[in-house]
Amino acid sequence: MNRRVLFMLAGAVSAVLPAIAFAETQLTVYTAIEAVDLDRYKATFEKAHPDIKINWVRDSTGVMTAKLLAEKDNPQADVVWGLAATSLLLLKAEGMLEPYQPKGVEDLDKKFVDNDTPPGWVGMDAYVAALCYNTVEGERLGLKAPTSWEDLTKPEYKGHIVMPNPASSGTGFLNVSGWMQLWGEEKAWAYMDKLHENISAYTHSGSKPCKMAGAGEAVIGVSFEFPGAKAKSAGAPIDIIFPSEGSGWEAEATAIIAGTPNLEAAETLVDWSITKEANEMYNVGYAVVAYPGVAKAVEHLPSDISSKMIDNDFEWAANSRTAILKEWQKRYDAKSEPKS
Amino acid sequence: MNFALEASHLPLTGKRLRQEASRDDLVKLGFMAVIGLYLIVALAAPLFVMLSKSLSTYRFELAAFEFQVSDETGANWGPVVSAAELNRELGAVADTELSTNSDGRLAATKFFPEFKFRSPVHYRIRGTTDDAAFLVGSTREKGTAWREYDSGTFRRVVLRPASSLGFENFRTYFSTPALAQSIHNSVLMAAISTVVTISIAFALAYGLTRSCMPLKGLFRGILTIPILVPSLLPGIALVYLFGNQGVFKDWLMGYSIYGPIGIVIGSVFFTLPHAFLIILTALSIADARHYEAAASLKASKWRTFTTVTVPGARYGIVSAAFVVFTLVITDFGLPKVIGGQYGMLAVDIYKQVIGQQNFEMGAVVSVILLVPAVLAFAVDRRMQRRQVALLSARAVPYVPKRNARMDTLCFAFAGLVSLFILGMIAMCQIAAIVKFWPYDLALTAKNFAFDLMDGGGWAAYANSIRLALLTALFGSVVVFAGAYMVEKADGFRFGRSIFHFLAMMPMAVPGMVLGLAYIFFFNNPANPLHPIYGTMTILVVCTVTHFYTVAHLTALTALKQMDPEFESVAASLKQPFHRLFFRVTVPVCLPAILDIAIYLFVNAMTTVSAVVFLYATGTKLASVAVLNMDDAGDIAPAAAMGMMIFYTNIAAKLIHALIARGLLARTQAWR
């Protein structure tokens, strides 16, 4: 009799125990991380914190940002992990982010941390503007590979360059804001006036110009380094070129959505997202990561990309965005407009 | 009314005579209310919310901000001045620059021309209302308390706009050349595509009905293929055929496929079946007696054609023209893939909302896009009403006679068009299995590894099938029940006509507009229906609503063929209407119900524009995956996913044919 009760008790306890030990918190995490990486990120984090489960909501940067803003009055996400810093600044300006000073944030490269205290977002990695140059088509047309932004305005490239539209692509905007920060607004507009003459199309997505160059649809794609390396691995005859003047860049970053009911778990995730271990994980795809000294060279990309990155002022970019886009659309958006 | 009976001098006792609503009628009324409510919640209310969104404007209210500036010591403060006063003095910001979008920002330093970064001067700012908001860097501050900043920080202060109602967004829209240009472009593209498509469709339908060309059945099948693929697919095929690395690039003689040329070719491809089927129906109901009369009057072939054939099909042609026009002007997938820099309204909505998070401007473009679509729809309705029955009981079906030259010509033309359609599909199939076009033409299956692509993996494909099945099932029930109420319920004339109007509306509403309206309506936390946001339910509701009209008309046509005597007989036999409904109406209309189901299935598989704003991670769709993969430049996988949709639809069509044959054998023996 006693034994049976004990046995039952033991059974009950062993059934309940894991449930207590792993009282898991579910975090709804919005992200724009590439689909290929999602499972790996989730697995690595959940191994370090078995009590927290991640539910991904993934979409492209533009859709994710629009979704978050549309849900402004009724946020559905707990954490945003892996969204462009400028997008997070938009959310911050709406008061949607919970400022948080993650453990170990002082180890990170300063340019990857929001400059408020406590920071609104903390960075993971960077994507850096680059050119994808199709060597086969270039040779066929007798063109030389460009080495600088200035080169792109040479008349010989007329009609051979594809660039993302800053009004619909974050990569497009980081280029424009990059040129403005490099040269000042006036010179940047003069440059774009000349560049516009050579552009055959403005695409809606930032990685598409590189893929178009890879497929020979264009000779030069203004894009960023990541799709370039990917296309090259897939067999595209392209060179990835970092213009000599320096490149605009964007950070992928992490932030907590204000009012989350799972604040503690969210903080745990953000703490972990800036650890050395997490940065090593980012480095599998990204050549530049926020934790200094972690980054190893990625296949097809040079090891010194971080030296090409300009001194980027995210805050300036975010606050000037509306005005810049308005002017950009006025100048260039009606490219196909019949000239009469 | 019988006055004699009601005359007051007669001692009238008992109940007044009046037709009593039977229990059946009450049940019918209840049904109609439920389905009417569905249409209001799923269509009218979201559209209304969107309209009000387009009128929500943003403006910097300068009077709502006050400043105070210290002297060089930073201790003594000057007078309090509002931004409005400063601007009146300085003229720093023009009035037109004050209206902005929801993300507008205005630097506070604009009002201080003497402002110096790193000076010892301090600045204070406050709002005069509780809602006045400004940013310091990107941190939001709000309210009427004074806040003090040194000059280095004050440089980072930007004002935020306040929202109000007005037509400002429309003014901005029409004063932005690139945006206003889109109206012109969209109308032009739709007009050209309509003319081309209708000409081709008419020639084809003519060949099929008026000649003795061989292989008519086969051509009929091939000509309807484009319905089975998303409108993005012809865009992708055109890139491979005529793009810069295209197989037939030289055919374009230096012109680019990215732009008007691509849009027109692609539009003709995907609208052809719609026009073809409508005109074919119109031409099929020819009365041979007219032709005999023409022949006996010795009218020339051409004269017969212009006086008998064309007028007979006139309404079909007009109707088809409006369908094509509406389809082209509201389509979003094709111009996005192949449109290049050629601005179109539907793509502008996407660019405003996804690219710039400017929801208000997206709503403005939507409202503008509604105008031509509603106009086309209204004109078409008017024309339809004037349609008189051509096929009287005494009509004699027309049987074409052999004519070698004519038959060969028709056959050659149909063959050419079929080749074009099959060529486009074949190109996509090739693109889907080639390793790296055009540099490595080895065959591969890796483009079908959707799980490794951004935009949605195999799960998206499974979701699409789920959506299509649910839409077909739920949609057939709702649509047929609704049509039954409109057609067979007696009484409630007013309610029925409102209901009919609501049912006709979705035809004029572009999918993209409907999708955007759904975000505004259902993602409002105050909406009790909010929980369906981000679920499969909202996708089903949206898809059923989006394709409601054609399904409704199909059901209505089938029901009209049923003699109303059935109802009278059932009523006199004191049979409840549901018994009649399930025992007679449904079995008799089964072919039509099956047609509605397959129509909804196929369209749910290919729809992009309505659902592009509404899917969530768990409910990604194959058609959206095609869009996203193409967007990311992964064109081959996009083609592969597009072909999966195509094959699924072919399979669905075959299953539909089998079920139809099996069921019809059992239920349609009476025919």
Would you state the torsion angle of the CA atoms of residues A87, A88, A90, A93, taken in this order, to the nearest 10 degrees? -170
Q: How far is CA B651 from the centre of its chain?
A: 25
Q: How many helices (H) and strands (E) does chain A have?
A: 12, 11
Burial of B176 (0-12, 13-18, 19+ CB in 10 A): middle
Closest partner residue to A325 (CB to CB) among B158, B356, B455 is B356
Q: Report CB contact under 8 Å: A336, B342.
A: yes
- Which of chain A's residues have a Cβ under 8 Å away from the Cβ of B632? 60, 205, 207-208, 211, 227
Put simply, the answer to whether B355 touches A165 (Cβ < 8 Å) is yes
A58 chain-B contacts, CB cut-off 8 A = 617
Which A residues, 108 through 147, put their C-beta within 8 Å of a C-beta on chain B? 115-116, 120, 136
Between positions 226 and 245 of A, the ones with CB within 8 A of B are 227, 234-237
- For residue B406, pLDDT over 80 is answered with yes
SS3 A288: strand
pLDDT averaged over every residue in chain B? 85
Residue A218 to residue B244, Cβ atoms within 8 A: yes
Calculate how close chain B gets to A281, using CA atoms only, in Å. Answer: 18
Does the pLDDT value for residue B270 go beyond 80? yes
- Whole-complex ipTM: 0.81
List chain B residues with CB under 8 Å of A76: 534
- Whether B10 shows a pLDDT value over 50: the answer reads no
Ranges of residues in chain A whose predicted pLDDT is under 70: 1-23, 334-340
Class of domain A128-248+316-335: alpha beta
CB B436 within 8 A of CB A235: yes
pLDDT value, residue B288: 78
Distance from CA of B668 to the nearest CA of A (A): 49
pLDDT higher for B574 or B272? B272
Helices (H), chain A: 2-21, 35-48, 61-70, 85-93, 135-140, 170-183, 185-198, 208-214, 225-233, 263-273, 276-282, 314-332
- Laid out side by side, the sheet with B157-159 consists of B106-107, B157-159, B133-136, B139-142
DSSP letters spanning B329-359: HH--HHHHHH-TT---HHHHHHIIIIIH--H
Residue to test with chain A: of B109, B356, B533, B621, most A Cβ within 10 A? B356
Q: Is the pTM of this model over 0.90?
A: no
Residue A26, chain B, CB below 8 Å: the answer is no
* Chain centroid, CA B539 distance in Å: 13
User: In chain A, what are the domain boundaries?
Assistant: 26-126+250-302, 128-248+316-335
Strands B157-159 and B106-107: antiparallel
Nearest to A201 by CA among A213, A189, A190, A191: A213
| Alpha-carbon torsion, ordered B128, B131, B137, B138, to 10 deg | 180
Phi, psi torsion values for B13, nearest 5 degrees: -120, 170
Taken in order of first residue, the domains within chain B and their CATH numbers are 61-160 (no CATH), 179-392+402-444 (1.10.3720.10), 448-670 (1.10.3720.10)
Among A116, A167, A234, beta carbon nearest to B355: A167
Fold observed for domain A26-126+250-302: D-Maltodextrin-Binding Protein; domain 2 (3.40.190)
Q: What's the pLDDT score for residue A337? A: 38
Q: Are B236 and B358 in contact (CB under 8 A)?
A: no
Is B388 in contact with B284 (CB distance < 8 Å)? no
Binding-face residues of A in 180-209 toward B, CB within 8 A: 200-202, 204-205, 207-209
CA nearest to B342 within chain A: A336
Cα of A45 to nearest chain B Cα, Å: 20
* Cβ(B627)–Cβ(B607) below 8 Å: no
Can you tell me the distance from the alpha carbon of A145 to that of A215, in angstroms, rounded to the nearest whole number?
17
pLDDT in tens, A232-290: 988 899 999 999 999 999 999 999 999 999 999 999 999 999 999 999 999 988 899 99
What are the pLDDT digits (tens) for B108-124? 999 998 888 888 899 99
Report how far apart, in Å, the C-alpha atoms of B139 and of each of A121, A139, A248, A315 are: 12, 50, 23, 10
Distance CA B520, CA B516 (A): 7
The two tokens of residue B1 are 């009314």
Q: Residue B134 CB: number of other CB atoms within 10 A?
A: 21
Of B155-169, B306-320, B487-501, the poorest mean pLDDT is in B487-501
Model pLDDT for residues B215-267, shown as the tens digit of each residue: 999 999 999 999 999 999 999 999 999 988 888 888 888 888 889 999 999 99
Two tokens, residue B219: 């051509």
* pLDDT for the residue B18: 46
CB–CB contact B101 A322 (8 Å)? yes
Give yes or no for a contact between A3 and A55, defined as CB atoms under 8 angstroms apart. no
Q: Does pLDDT of B5 surpass 50?
A: no
Each residue's pLDDT tens digit, B344-392: 998 888 888 888 888 899 899 988 888 877 777 777 777 766 655 554 5
Which residue from A minimizes the CA distance to B527? A74
DSSP B365-383: HHHHHHHHHHHHHHHHHHH
Whole-angstrom Cα distance, residue B562 to residue B494?
23
pLDDT band at B82 (very low <50, low <70, confident <90, very high): very high
CB-CB under 8 Å, A319 with B105: yes
Do A26-126+250-302 and A128-248+316-335 fold alike per CATH? yes
- pLDDT > 70: what percent of chain B? 93
| Residue A241, min C-alpha distance to chain B (Å) | 19
Q: Residue B294: what are its φ and ψ, rounded to 5°? A: -60, -45
